[in-house]
Structure 1
Amino acid sequence: MSGVPTTGRSLVQLAVGPAEHGVTAAALAQWEVLRHDPGTVLVRTPAQPGVDGLATALRGVPAGVVHAHVTDRLFGRSPEEAADVLVEFAAGRDLVVSLHDLPQTSDGARNLPRRSLAYRRVAEAARHVVVASRHEERLLRACGADVPCTVVPLPVPDLAHAPAEDRAAPLRTVAVLGYLYPGKGHEQVLAALDALPPGVGLTAVGRPSEGHEDLVAALQARARAVGRTCEVTGYVPDADLPAVLRSPVLPVAPHEHLSASGSINAWTGAGRRPLVPRSDYVTELEDRTPGALWVYDGPDGLGAALARAWAQPDLTWATPGTVPGPTVADTVDLLRGVLSGVPA
């Protein structure tokens, strides 16, 4: 598809927050494709820039569509503040938002209504809304937002270029990829390790999300209590990630309340077949790429899946020649269709 028709207007790809944040990384990955389109501009700001910070960052940029990847924590210290910032910003710019981390019941009785209202306000203020799955589209409707919405799936990165050990090589540890935060599922994995031989531990590939640094000590204490180990790697640079994911580890993505998952995509992009709990979103992924995932049923099914994977490590690798999708370029083509349709 050709570049976005700008008719004299610019297209701004707004990337807020640190490059290692998954939402920011998604914006920057799309920019690497969009940058070749005429009239496109990348604008970077720190997390929680405020309205004044956004205005300053866009000073001198011609009028046009601003596309922002949004999760509330990147735009405010609270859901209310994030919504205030984006609603005010949208009053002066043609804002298209790609929403992430949509509110759901796992947010809890206090935060679910707060985040739902915030996301509804942002969706209603934007010129158009993009989400990463049909499941997220349903979550947005549950927020009360009756707005036009387009599904643009998260891209699957190409991480299969690093050398891999023999697919049948014995596994060394159970690995969970991504930020550490409550509900990610590390505790469920620790509880299920009794299905594996003594000495097998958990490796958390990543670092704690902001405000949850205490989880490292808590997980390690939990591991000691069940006679296991828990290693937390800290942030793994992009250049080193393929080798980590293609090493003899047992890949698990145990989060039970997913609406989209960069972690699952990273595993599959590295040629792995991660263990994942059944959910609406996982069913959607299975429909898109049959056989790319090892689906188990709830916490009770995790132990049996771990034991079988440990005994047959080749089953944790994708079928040779399997190419999961979509690519970043595929998602940008879908996004172009949204952005070019925003009237002046």
Structure 2
Amino acid sequence: MHHLIVGPAGHGVTAYAERLAREVGAEVIREEEYGDSALPPGPIHVAFTDHLFGSSPREALEALLGRVGTRPLSVSFHDVPQRAEGERRFERRAAAYAALAAAAELAVVNSEHEARFFAARAPGAAVRVIRLPVEPIDSPFDPEPATVGVVGFIYPGKGHEDLIEALAGTEYRLRFLGGVSAGHERWARSLERHAEITGWLSDDELAREMGRIAVPVCAHRHYSASGSLMTWLGAGRCVLASDSPYTREIDAWMPGRISLVEPGSWREAVSTYRPRRVAPPVHGWDAVGAMWQREWAACGLM
């Protein structure tokens, strides 16, 4: 099976696809931007989020299916549509995602929350759940008092403004550990008056900076799955996370590691949090790769 990996280096979906390909020893077709060259014969696997494959959800769907042709197709779905995006955008994206899942021999999502979307929109599709890996991170535990941290790419919707508003006038110092997603630079400059933005960090730098944070936070307004949450858990940190179907699912899967925060309750949650570290969960890339291989074999793709 060949893995078609599309997108810029460092993009979350691209990074997931590259790491999975390494884990299973796959042949890779790598494209920074989606192309149209002929694909080799045999099964094709893609990690899909629509904006990497076309200028609209329909264009992305048609471009991918047209290029794959009659080859067996396996898809890892990311950024699954949610109604919170706005009804019009949701419907456009939902139609494309459902059609792609129906055309694939195997469709995989990262949470039961995402699987429910496909159960409603593409009930005949073969959709499986393989949760995001939680890789152990060697992060020195040396929290600085009154520091509140958010990990990962910085873009609207991750709750940065909510934290700024909630903690205004308090002693807490906000640190956003990551680079700004392309296209959101002007918006991010408005955050710099209230928080430190580190910019892109290497793995070692990120591990070190995470260890300096007293209060780890995932404040996304709308989750479907979260690599940022898994990064905190991989460092053995207990996290404050906004309450949602997804975070409730992860809390049930890995109890005792997440404190769920209702909207409007961030100041209270931060002020009562006590830093602690626990052993990281056991759900690394070796387990995730093995799960993928079992699913491919069950569908006759290996």
TM-score interval, normalised by the smaller of the two chains: over 0.9
Work out whether residues 196 and 307 of structure 1, in 8 Å CA contact, stay in contact via their aligned partners in 2. no
Contact 1:251 / 1:272 at 8 angstroms: preserved in 2? yes
2:277 equivalent in structure 1: 318
Larger Rg: 1
- The offset of 1:106, in angstroms, is 1.5
**1-side partners of 2:244 and 2:11: how far apart?**
24
Matched, 1:202 2:167: no
Q: 2:10 aligns with which of 20, 43, 65?
A: 20
Asked whether 1:275 is paired with 2:240, we answer: yes
Contact 1:246-1:271 at 8 Å conserved across structures: no
Which whole-Å CA distance do the structure 2 matches of 1:256 and 1:102 have between them?
Answer: 15
Provide the aligned C-alpha RMSD in A. Answer: 1.9
Equivalent runs, 1:136-285 vs 2, <5 Å: 136-144=114-122, 146-159=124-137, 161-165=138-142, 169-194=143-168, 196-197=170-171, 200-220=172-192, 224=193, 229-285=194-250
The equivalent residue for 2:105 is 127
1:195 deviates by: 7.1
Question: Could you tell me whether the CA contact under 8 Å between 2:44 and 2:68 is conserved in 1?
Answer: no
| Aligned mates of 2:84, 2:182 — CA distance in 1 | 18
Whichever residue aligns with residue 119 of structure 2, its letter is: R
Give the distance between the partners of 1:14 and 1:292, measured in 2 at CA: 35
Q: Is the 8 A contact 2:151 2:178 kept in 1?
A: yes
1:301: how far off?
Answer: 1.8
Question: Relative to structure 1, is the Cα distance of residues 70 and 304 closer, same or farther in structure 2, using a 3 angstrom cutoff?
Answer: same
| 2:13/2:47 contact within 8 Å kept | yes
Deviation at 1:236, TM superposition (A): 1.5
TM-score (normalised: structure 2): 0.92
Q: CA deviation at 1:240?
A: 2.0
- The one-letter code sitting in structure 2 at the alignment partner of 1:323 is P
Measured in 2, the distance between the counterparts of 1:325 and 1:210 equals: 33
| SS of aligned partner of 1:44 | strand
Task: Specify the code of the residue in structure 2 equivalent to 1:30.
Answer: L
In the TM superposition, what is the alpha-carbon distance from 1:202 to its structure 2 partner? 2.0
Q: Is the 8 A contact 1:103 1:143 kept in 2?
A: no
Q: CA deviation at 1:41?
A: 0.9
Specify every segment of 5 or more residues in structure 1 that has no aligned partner in the other structure, as ranges.
Answer: 1-10
Residue 113 of structure 1 deviates from its aligned partner by 0.7
Answer whether contact 1:195 1:304 (CA < 8 A) is retained: no
For 1:219, what is the secondary structure of its paired residue?
Answer: coil
Aligned-residue offset at 1:115: 0.6
Aligned residues: 301
Matching residue within 48, 73, 91 for 2:51: 73
Q: CA contact under 8 A between 2:147 and 2:173: conserved in structure 1? A: yes
1:249–1:21 distance in 2 versus 1, CA, 3 Å: farther
CA distance, structure 2, for counterparts of residue 31 and residue 255 of structure 1: 28
Distance in 1 separating the partners of 2:265 and 2:49:
31
Partners of 2:221 and 2:117 lie apart in 1 by 15
For 1:163, the aligned partner's letter is P
Q: Residues 122 and 205 (structure 1 numbering): CA distance in 2 closer, same or farther, change over 3 Å?
A: same
